[in-house]
Chains A and B, each alone.
Chain A
Amino acid sequence: EAGVVQSPRYKIIEKKQPVAFWCNPISGHNTLYWYLQNLGQGPELLIRYENEEAVDDSQLPKDRFSAERLKGVDSTLKIQPAELGDSAVYLCASSSSSLGGGLDTGELFFGEGSRLTVL
Protein backbone atom coordinates (compact mmCIF):
# COMPACT_ATOMS: atom_id res chain seq x y z
CA GLU A 1 0.00 0.00 0.00
CA ALA A 2 1.37 3.43 -0.92
CA GLY A 3 2.08 5.82 1.90
CA VAL A 4 1.47 9.55 2.03
CA VAL A 5 2.96 11.14 -1.08
CA GLN A 6 4.19 14.71 -1.16
CA SER A 7 5.69 16.85 -3.88
CA PRO A 8 7.92 18.55 -4.53
CA ARG A 9 10.51 17.15 -2.13
CA TYR A 10 12.62 20.29 -2.42
CA LYS A 11 11.84 23.82 -3.52
CA ILE A 12 14.06 26.89 -3.63
CA ILE A 13 12.44 30.23 -4.37
CA GLU A 14 13.13 33.91 -3.99
CA LYS A 15 11.23 35.82 -1.34
CA LYS A 16 7.89 37.25 -2.44
CA GLN A 17 7.41 34.42 -4.92
CA PRO A 18 4.50 31.98 -4.59
CA VAL A 19 4.94 28.28 -3.87
CA ALA A 20 2.58 25.32 -3.67
CA PHE A 21 2.89 21.89 -2.11
CA TRP A 22 0.81 18.86 -2.95
CA CYS A 23 -0.18 15.90 -0.81
CA ASN A 24 -1.87 12.60 -1.63
CA PRO A 25 -2.94 10.82 1.57
CA ILE A 26 -3.25 7.10 2.15
CA SER A 27 -6.29 5.75 0.35
CA GLY A 28 -9.35 5.81 2.59
CA HIS A 29 -7.92 8.21 5.14
CA ASN A 30 -10.49 10.92 5.74
CA THR A 31 -8.32 13.09 7.98
CA LEU A 32 -5.45 15.10 6.50
CA TYR A 33 -3.00 17.36 8.29
CA TRP A 34 -0.44 19.90 7.19
CA TYR A 35 2.40 20.43 9.65
CA LEU A 36 5.28 22.90 9.69
CA GLN A 37 8.64 21.62 10.93
CA ASN A 38 11.38 24.12 11.59
CA LEU A 39 14.95 22.91 11.93
CA GLY A 40 15.49 21.15 15.24
CA GLN A 41 11.84 21.39 16.22
CA GLY A 42 8.83 19.12 16.34
CA PRO A 43 5.99 19.37 13.85
CA GLU A 44 3.47 22.15 14.44
CA LEU A 45 -0.05 21.90 13.07
CA LEU A 46 -1.06 24.33 10.34
CA ILE A 47 -4.40 22.90 9.31
CA ARG A 48 -6.50 19.76 9.70
CA TYR A 49 -9.13 18.49 7.29
CA GLU A 50 -11.95 16.08 7.90
CA ASN A 51 -12.83 15.01 4.36
CA GLU A 52 -13.01 18.31 2.45
CA GLU A 53 -13.77 20.48 5.49
CA ALA A 54 -11.03 22.44 7.24
CA VAL A 55 -11.96 21.83 10.88
CA ASP A 56 -8.89 23.38 12.51
CA ASP A 57 -6.97 26.16 10.76
CA SER A 58 -6.34 28.29 13.82
CA GLN A 59 -2.55 28.09 13.35
CA LEU A 60 -2.55 28.85 9.62
CA PRO A 61 -1.24 32.36 8.82
CA LYS A 62 -4.13 33.26 6.61
CA ASP A 63 -2.62 36.44 5.25
CA ARG A 64 -0.21 34.44 3.12
CA PHE A 65 -1.06 30.76 3.52
CA SER A 66 -4.00 28.95 1.98
CA ALA A 67 -4.97 25.33 1.63
CA GLU A 68 -7.60 23.27 -0.05
CA ARG A 69 -8.71 19.68 -0.19
CA LEU A 70 -11.03 19.29 -3.10
CA LYS A 71 -13.15 16.13 -3.14
CA GLY A 72 -11.73 15.15 0.23
CA VAL A 73 -8.65 13.40 -1.16
CA ASP A 74 -5.58 15.33 -2.39
CA SER A 75 -4.63 18.60 -0.78
CA THR A 76 -2.52 21.61 -1.71
CA LEU A 77 -0.87 24.13 0.57
CA LYS A 78 0.06 27.49 -0.93
CA ILE A 79 2.20 30.35 0.28
CA GLN A 80 1.93 33.71 -1.44
CA PRO A 81 4.09 35.67 -1.08
CA ALA A 82 6.82 33.62 0.59
CA GLU A 83 9.03 35.21 3.25
CA LEU A 84 12.49 34.26 4.46
CA GLY A 85 11.01 32.89 7.68
CA ASP A 86 8.92 30.38 5.76
CA SER A 87 12.00 28.25 5.09
CA ALA A 88 11.13 24.92 6.71
CA VAL A 89 9.86 21.43 5.99
CA TYR A 90 6.15 21.14 5.28
CA LEU A 91 4.84 17.76 6.33
CA CYS A 92 1.56 16.20 5.29
CA ALA A 93 0.00 13.44 7.38
CA SER A 94 -3.18 11.42 7.22
CA SER A 95 -5.13 9.17 9.54
CA SER A 96 -8.12 6.92 9.17
CA SER A 97 -10.38 8.69 11.62
CA SER A 98 -10.35 11.37 14.25
CA LEU A 99 -14.07 11.76 14.66
CA GLY A 100 -15.54 11.52 18.10
CA GLY A 101 -13.71 11.26 21.38
CA GLY A 102 -12.63 8.49 23.63
CA LEU A 103 -9.48 6.45 23.28
CA ASP A 104 -9.80 5.41 19.66
CA THR A 105 -7.12 7.59 18.09
CA GLY A 106 -6.07 7.05 14.52
CA GLU A 107 -2.34 6.69 13.91
CA LEU A 108 -0.73 9.54 12.01
CA PHE A 109 1.09 8.55 8.84
CA PHE A 110 3.51 11.19 7.59
CA GLY A 111 4.83 11.87 4.14
CA GLU A 112 8.52 12.58 3.59
CA GLY A 113 7.93 16.32 3.55
CA SER A 114 8.60 19.22 1.24
CA ARG A 115 11.67 21.24 2.14
CA LEU A 116 11.29 24.93 1.28
CA THR A 117 14.20 27.32 1.08
CA VAL A 118 13.36 30.99 0.61
CA LEU A 119 16.28 33.17 -0.54
Chain B
Amino acid sequence: GENVEQHPSTLSVQEGDSAVIKCTYSDSASNYFPWYKQELGKGPQLIIDIRSNVGEKKDQRIAVTLNKTAKHFSLHITETQPEDSAVYFCAASIRTYKYIFGTGTRLKVLA
Protein backbone atom coordinates (compact mmCIF):
# COMPACT_ATOMS: atom_id res chain seq x y z
CA GLY B 1 0.00 0.00 0.00
CA GLU B 2 0.94 3.66 0.11
CA ASN B 3 3.93 4.48 2.25
CA VAL B 4 5.82 7.61 3.27
CA GLU B 5 9.30 7.24 4.70
CA GLN B 6 10.84 10.10 6.65
CA HIS B 7 14.45 10.68 7.70
CA PRO B 8 16.07 11.37 10.05
CA SER B 9 14.01 10.42 13.07
CA THR B 10 15.93 12.87 15.25
CA LEU B 11 17.99 15.90 14.30
CA SER B 12 20.00 18.26 16.48
CA VAL B 13 21.38 21.50 15.08
CA GLN B 14 23.04 24.57 16.52
CA GLU B 15 20.97 27.72 16.58
CA GLY B 16 21.45 29.56 13.31
CA ASP B 17 22.34 26.46 11.32
CA SER B 18 20.11 24.86 8.69
CA ALA B 19 18.00 21.72 9.10
CA VAL B 20 16.90 19.38 6.33
CA ILE B 21 14.28 16.64 6.63
CA LYS B 22 13.64 14.24 3.75
CA CYS B 23 10.65 12.14 2.77
CA THR B 24 9.96 9.62 0.05
CA TYR B 25 6.57 8.41 -1.07
CA SER B 26 5.50 5.30 -2.91
CA ASP B 27 2.32 6.22 -4.78
CA SER B 28 2.97 8.22 -7.94
CA ALA B 29 -0.65 9.43 -7.80
CA SER B 30 0.19 11.61 -4.79
CA ASN B 31 -0.30 15.24 -5.74
CA TYR B 32 -0.14 17.26 -2.53
CA PHE B 33 2.67 17.30 0.04
CA PRO B 34 2.13 19.20 3.31
CA TRP B 35 4.52 19.55 6.23
CA TYR B 36 3.23 19.73 9.78
CA LYS B 37 4.88 20.93 12.98
CA GLN B 38 3.73 19.35 16.24
CA GLU B 39 4.68 20.87 19.56
CA LEU B 40 4.41 18.92 22.79
CA GLY B 41 0.82 18.30 23.80
CA LYS B 42 -0.63 19.93 20.70
CA GLY B 43 -2.03 18.81 17.39
CA PRO B 44 -0.02 19.05 14.16
CA GLN B 45 -0.08 22.44 12.46
CA LEU B 46 0.54 23.05 8.77
CA ILE B 47 3.69 25.07 8.13
CA ILE B 48 4.13 24.75 4.38
CA ASP B 49 2.82 22.67 1.52
CA ILE B 50 3.63 22.00 -2.12
CA ARG B 51 1.58 20.66 -5.00
CA SER B 52 2.78 18.29 -7.69
CA ASN B 53 2.89 20.97 -10.38
CA VAL B 54 5.54 22.96 -8.46
CA GLY B 55 9.16 22.03 -7.79
CA GLU B 56 9.96 24.41 -4.95
CA LYS B 57 8.18 26.72 -2.55
CA LYS B 58 9.58 29.11 0.02
CA ASP B 59 8.07 30.95 2.96
CA GLN B 60 10.57 33.08 4.88
CA ARG B 61 12.98 30.63 6.59
CA ILE B 62 11.14 27.53 5.42
CA ALA B 63 11.31 25.93 1.99
CA VAL B 64 10.12 22.69 0.47
CA THR B 65 11.41 20.98 -2.66
CA LEU B 66 9.74 18.22 -4.64
CA ASN B 67 11.28 15.74 -7.05
CA LYS B 68 8.38 13.89 -8.67
CA THR B 69 10.63 11.61 -10.72
CA ALA B 70 12.44 10.35 -7.65
CA LYS B 71 9.28 10.60 -5.52
CA HIS B 72 10.87 12.52 -2.72
CA PHE B 73 10.42 15.89 -1.11
CA SER B 74 12.35 17.79 1.52
CA LEU B 75 11.84 20.46 4.15
CA HIS B 76 14.57 23.05 4.61
CA ILE B 77 14.70 25.36 7.62
CA THR B 78 17.36 28.05 7.56
CA GLU B 79 18.65 30.18 10.44
CA THR B 80 17.08 27.82 12.97
CA GLN B 81 15.82 29.21 16.26
CA PRO B 82 15.01 27.48 19.56
CA GLU B 83 11.28 27.84 18.85
CA ASP B 84 11.75 25.64 15.78
CA SER B 85 12.28 22.70 18.16
CA ALA B 86 9.35 20.32 17.63
CA VAL B 87 8.36 17.16 15.79
CA TYR B 88 7.90 17.61 12.05
CA PHE B 89 5.74 15.34 9.90
CA CYS B 90 5.63 15.12 6.16
CA ALA B 91 2.57 13.76 4.36
CA ALA B 92 1.55 12.76 0.88
CA SER B 93 -2.01 13.18 -0.23
CA ILE B 94 -3.85 11.33 -2.95
CA ARG B 95 -7.02 12.63 -4.54
CA THR B 96 -7.33 15.50 -2.07
CA TYR B 97 -8.20 13.50 1.01
CA LYS B 98 -6.09 10.41 1.53
CA TYR B 99 -3.20 11.66 3.67
CA ILE B 100 -0.35 9.29 4.49
CA PHE B 101 1.97 10.68 7.16
CA GLY B 102 5.64 10.02 7.74
CA THR B 103 6.89 8.80 11.11
CA GLY B 104 8.12 12.22 12.18
CA THR B 105 11.44 13.96 12.85
CA ARG B 106 12.21 15.35 16.27
CA LEU B 107 14.18 18.54 15.70
CA LYS B 108 16.16 20.01 18.54
CA VAL B 109 17.74 23.43 18.08
CA LEU B 110 20.55 23.96 20.55
CA ALA B 111 21.04 27.48 21.84
Stretch at the interface among B12-20, B40-48, B57-65, B76-84: B40-48
A107 is contacted by which of B31, B34, B52, B98 (Cβ under 8 Å)? B34
A103 and B103 form a contact (CB under 8 A): no
B96 is contacted by which of A42, A104, A110, A112 (Cβ under 8 Å)? A104
CA A104 to CA B97, docked complex, whole Å: 10
Q: Quick check: is A44 within 8 A (CB to CB) of the other chain?
A: yes
User: How extensive is the interface on chain A, given as a class?
Assistant: 20 to 34
A45 and B99 form a contact (CB under 8 A): yes
B96 and A98 form a contact (CB under 8 A): yes
A112 and B42 form a contact (CB under 8 A): yes
Q: Number of B interface residues, CB 8 Å?
A: 28
User: What is the minimal beta-carbon distance from B8 to any residue of chain A, in angstroms?
Assistant: 13
Please name all residues of chain B whose beta carbon is closer than 8 Å to the beta carbon of A113 when the two chains form the complex. 42-43
CA A91 to CA B101, docked complex, whole Å: 13
B99 is contacted by which of A4, A101, A108, A112 (Cβ under 8 Å)? A108
Given contacts A43-B89, A103-B31, contact A108 B104 (CB under 8 A): no
A91 is contacted by which of B4, B43, B96, B102 (Cβ under 8 Å)? B43
Q: Which residue of B lies closest to A48 (CB)?
A: B97
Q: Which residue of A lies closest to B41 (CB)?
A: A112
Please name all residues of chain A whose beta carbon is closer than 8 Å to the beta carbon of B97 when the two chains form the complex. 31, 48, 56, 95, 98, 105
A100 and B96 form a contact (CB under 8 A): yes
B96 and A108 form a contact (CB under 8 A): no
Please name all residues of chain B whose beta carbon is closer than 8 Å to the beta carbon of A44 when the two chains form the complex. 101
CA A42 to CA B108, docked complex, whole Å: 18
Q: Quick check: is B51 within 8 A (CB to CB) of the other chain?
A: yes
Instruction: List residues of chain B with CB under 8 Å of any chain A CB.
Output: 4, 6, 31-32, 34, 36, 41-46, 49, 51-53, 89, 91, 93, 95-99, 101-104
6 closest residue pairs by CB, A with B: A42-B101, A110-B43, A98-B97, A105-B32, A105-B96, A98-B96
Instruction: List residues of chain A with CB under 8 Å of any chain B CB.
Output: 4, 31, 40-45, 48, 56, 91, 93, 95, 97-113
> Can you list 9 residue pairs at the A/B interface with Cβ under 8 Å?
A40-B104, A42-B101, A43-B99, A44-B101, A45-B99, A91-B44, A98-B96, A105-B32, A108-B99
